[in-house]
Chain A
Amino acid sequence: MHKRSNEPFLWMLFSAGGVVSAMLMPIHVLLFGLAFPLGWVDAPSYEHLLALVRHPLTRVYLFILCSLALFHWAHRFRFTLYDGLQIKHLNELINTFCYGGAILGTAVAAYLLWRIP
């Protein structure tokens, strides 16, 4: 009897990250990446953003967004490297880079969100 794989866990993270990045990223990029820098709308003031980001709910929101999006990237990029570049024999290196990167990013996000004054 085969040992059941733990891929389901990684797939769950990938799926959750997929939903979160699909729902939230477009508006984030539209505003912060284009609308505010190009002046299409008035950018929110420093004070307003700081007040927003201080709120515990915002911090949780941003943590979930950043962490899950990174795990979504990790899983998808891992398979892209396997199939796109056909380097599946390097799978241990790839997995470390991808999921390790996501874990690192999650830690950085947690730290930054914790340290908001």
Chain B
Amino acid sequence: MANRITLEVTRYNPAHDEKPRPDTYEVPLRKEWVVLDALNYIKDHLDGSLSFRWSCRMGVCGSCGMMVNGVPKLTCATFLSDYAPGPVRVEPMSHFPVLRDLVVDTSDFLVKLAKSKPWIIRKVEKPLDEEYFQTPEQMDAYKQFSMCINCMLCYAACPVYGLDSLFSGPAAIALAQRYNLDSRDQGASDRLDILSHHEGIWGCTFVGECTQVCPKNVDPAAAIQQYKLTATMEWLKALVLPRGAE
């Protein structure tokens, strides 16, 4: 294995640049290094102005999402040696406005996430000294969708999100479903009102790339299809019983 590898990293300074362009850097190729290590090497030794987000460096915080050779990845979980001999193209996550270098504006996602009301909604509050009981089966119903770390790789992979600004996106819908399926939650109809709105979930055409790139095996595509089915059942119920049972 060679001991150097070339990275082509997107640079963009909104004060000076008209549009993003790649800069080339040569970094050591260490067997145990991930792409994030290479970026930190660049920042420490080659170009201190390079800007990028990262935090836990162990795949749980969701900060370091970027495009590596055109595929959305967590750079802390992507081994550099897998791309030998290189060059490796590192770009900011697709479908988000670029603020600076590899840093994107995530506010659209945060707005859409909030619309999913990703918290336990109760119609009837329990007194504070009364616990909720949940069996393993009940937890199993939503557990997979609760693993989401909000890394937004699914948004970078989803062509519909890239094309349709009104689409809620994979993670927001998967998280809505996570709470809908939680036995402690009573807010399913609240969420349905927001999400069944035209582009909320119906823009999804089940491309399935969101599930492919998810680093936590959340399977947002499945969550969305299940949600479509739920929304359809609710629509039918509303049709048959207009003042229907809540």
Binding site for B on A (CB under 8 A): 1-9, 11-12, 76, 79, 82-83, 86, 88
The residue on A at minimum CB distance from B207 is A83
**How far is it, in angstroms, between the C-alpha of A82 and the C-alpha of B166 when the chains are bound?**
13
The answer to the question of B53 belonging to the interface, with a C-beta cut-off of 8 Å to chain A, is: no
On whether the beta carbons of A8 and B193 are closer than 8 Å, the reply is no
The residue on A at minimum CB distance from B198 is A5
Question: Which residues of chain B come closer than 8 Å to A79, judged between CB atoms?
Answer: 205
The residue on B at minimum CB distance from A86 is B163
Closest 6 CB pairs of A and B: A8-B235, A8-B232, A7-B202, A2-B197, A5-B198, A79-B205
B39 to chain A, nearest CB (A): 32
**How far is it, in angstroms, between the C-alpha of A97 and the C-alpha of B66 when the chains are bound?**
40
Question: Which residues of chain A come closer than 8 Å to B200, judged between CB atoms?
Answer: 5
Residue of B196, B234, B236 ringed by the most chain A CB atoms within 10 A? B196
The answer to the question of B121 belonging to the interface, with a C-beta cut-off of 8 Å to chain A, is: no
For chain B, residues 202 to 242, give those with C-beta under 8 angstroms from any C-beta of chain A. 202, 205, 228, 231-232, 234-236, 238
The residue on B at minimum CB distance from A4 is B196
Binding site for A on B (CB under 8 A): 159-160, 163-164, 192-194, 196-198, 200, 202, 205, 228, 231-232, 234-236, 238
**How far is it, in angstroms, between the C-alpha of A11 and the C-alpha of B194 when the chains are bound?**
18
On whether the beta carbons of B164 and A8 are closer than 8 Å, the reply is no
The residue on B at minimum CB distance from A80 is B205
On whether the beta carbons of B163 and A8 are closer than 8 Å, the reply is no
On whether the beta carbons of A83 and B193 are closer than 8 Å, the reply is no
B235 to chain A, nearest CB (A): 4
The residue on A at minimum CB distance from B159 is A83
**How far is it, in angstroms, between the C-alpha of A8 and the C-alpha of B200 when the chains are bound?**
12
On whether the beta carbons of B163 and A4 are closer than 8 Å, the reply is no
On whether the beta carbons of B205 and A83 are closer than 8 Å, the reply is yes
Given contacts A11-B202, A79-B205, contact A4 B235 (CB under 8 A): yes
**How far is it, in angstroms, between the C-alpha of A86 and the C-alpha of B160 when the chains are bound?**
10
Question: Which residues of chain A come closer than 8 Å to B193, judged between CB atoms?
Answer: 1-2, 4
A13 to chain B, nearest CB (A): 11
Given contacts A5-B197, A83-B159, contact A11 B164 (CB under 8 A): no
**How far is it, in angstroms, between the C-alpha of A88 and the C-alpha of B235 when the chains are bound?**
25
B201 to chain A, nearest CB (A): 8
14 contacts between A and B (CB under 8 A): A1-B193, A2-B193, A4-B193, A4-B234, A4-B235, A8-B196, A8-B228, A9-B235, A11-B228, A12-B232, A76-B205, A83-B160, A83-B163, A86-B163
Question: Which residues of chain B come closer than 8 Å to A2, judged between CB atoms?
Answer: 193-194, 196-197
Given contacts A4-B197, A11-B202, contact A82 B163 (CB under 8 A): yes
The residue on A at minimum CB distance from B231 is A8
> Apart from A4-B193, A5-B200, what are 5 other A-B pairs with CB-CB below 8 Å?
A2-B193, A8-B236, A11-B232, A83-B160, A83-B163
**How far is it, in angstroms, between the C-alpha of A39 and the C-alpha of B60 when the chains are bound?**
62
Residue of B192, B228, B234 ringed by the most chain A CB atoms within 10 A? B228
**How far is it, in angstroms, between the C-alpha of A7 and the C-alpha of B166 when the chains are bound?**
15
Question: Which residues of chain B come closer than 8 Å to A6, judged between CB atoms?
Answer: 235
B9 to chain A, nearest CB (A): 29
Question: Which residues of chain A come closer than 8 Å to B235, judged between CB atoms?
Answer: 4, 6, 8-9
The residue on A at minimum CB distance from B164 is A88
